[in-house]
Amino acid sequence: MRTISWDHGVVRMIDQRLLPHKLEVVGFTDYREVARAITEMYIRGAPAIGAAAGFGMALAAQNSRATTPAQLRADLTEAAGTLLAARPTAVNLRWGIERMLATADRLLPQGVQTAQAGLIDEAQQIADEDVAINQRMGAHGATLIADGDTILHHCNTGGLATVDWGTALGVIRSAHEQGKKIHVLVDETRPRLQGAHLTTWELQQWGVPHTLIADNAAGYFMAAGKVNLVTVGADRVAANGDVVNKIGTYKLACVARDNDVPFYCVAPTSTVDLRTPSGNQIPIEERDPDEVLYVDGVRIAPEGVRAANPAFDVTPNRLVTAIVTEKGIVYPPFVENLAKVVNT
């Protein structure tokens, strides 16, 4: 089942806020609704957000009342601004929007209706490509996993974070389907508990053995020699290989380095941002403090307590063993080797 899809003018997506207790597919008919769904995390994960951006732009084109190419381009520019503001960190959002605008510029000279139809096709192509890209990453990354390995996984990077299959969790899925006997330690991933809510749910569907652990238990398991490798996704990878990912990733990378545990990032080349030299230039989204103050609707701190809630952190490239892309596994030096794979 795809996380997001186009259904005769309706963008349908799994409402991930309800998992694992309820699987519900919701539909949106306006790009502003898609932007809200991204902000409110109906859908999350960099590749899935990129696909959502594509479908949001397709909705904007379909619903436009423009009668001239110039009017349609103006409507698309407005929609692009709204969608781009939905979440500032994940570069796939910008990538998807820019790809749709480039398609519009190519098709608009042929007329409004041609551009509208072509943008729907392009959005669908983005979604279809994502599945194929994830499966290629899975095949490359599975070579890093040996039979009998225990993998520590952070956040959620499976089919729910993509259109289907997954990035870091897709690597695990590929290794499992190859018949390798593996075990996954799933950290809960506070504050939104994507590991506890989503990753465990997906691993159950696939039949992959796993154990849920508290975020703060990761160091214990690595120090005890019970982890063979760590896998994470990325919301953006800078040109130098710095990885911006779900908050807590940097801490895991530090502990992995201290215990000589390989630390792998799995991300498509669309997540690699060669325009940004390092992670220091990437904006870090600050989310609602209530995500920290409440767990599943229950307040866990006294009234009056303030909370800070950065959604991501930056893992320096020196802590990253390798980055798995759909074009192969990229090792340091990242500045040189990332540019090669992206531009190939």
Residue 313 appears among annotated catalytic residues: no
- For the chain, how many residues are written? 344
Maximum pairwise Cα distance, the chain: 66
Query: Please, which residues have CB within 8 angstroms of residue 8's CB and are 6 or more apart in sequence?
Result: none
Query: Please, which residues have CB within 8 angstroms of residue 152's CB and are 6 or more apart in sequence?
Result: 184, 185, 187, 218, 221, 222, 227, 229, 230, 231, 252, 261
Run of H or E residues at 173: helix 168-177
Identify the DSSP state of 329: E
- Tell me which of 130, 215, 235, 273 is the catalytic residue: 235
Q: How far from 292 is each of 44, 278, 322, CA to CA, in Å? A: 18, 28, 31
Q: Residue 5: how many CB atoms within 10 A of its CB?
A: 19
Instruction: Find the DSSP H helices in 207-299.
Output: 218-223, 249-258, 290-293
- What number of CA atoms fall less than 13 Å from residue 58's CA on the CB side? 27
Identify the DSSP state of 16: G
27: which 2 tokens? 């539909």
Active-site residues: which are they? Answer: 235
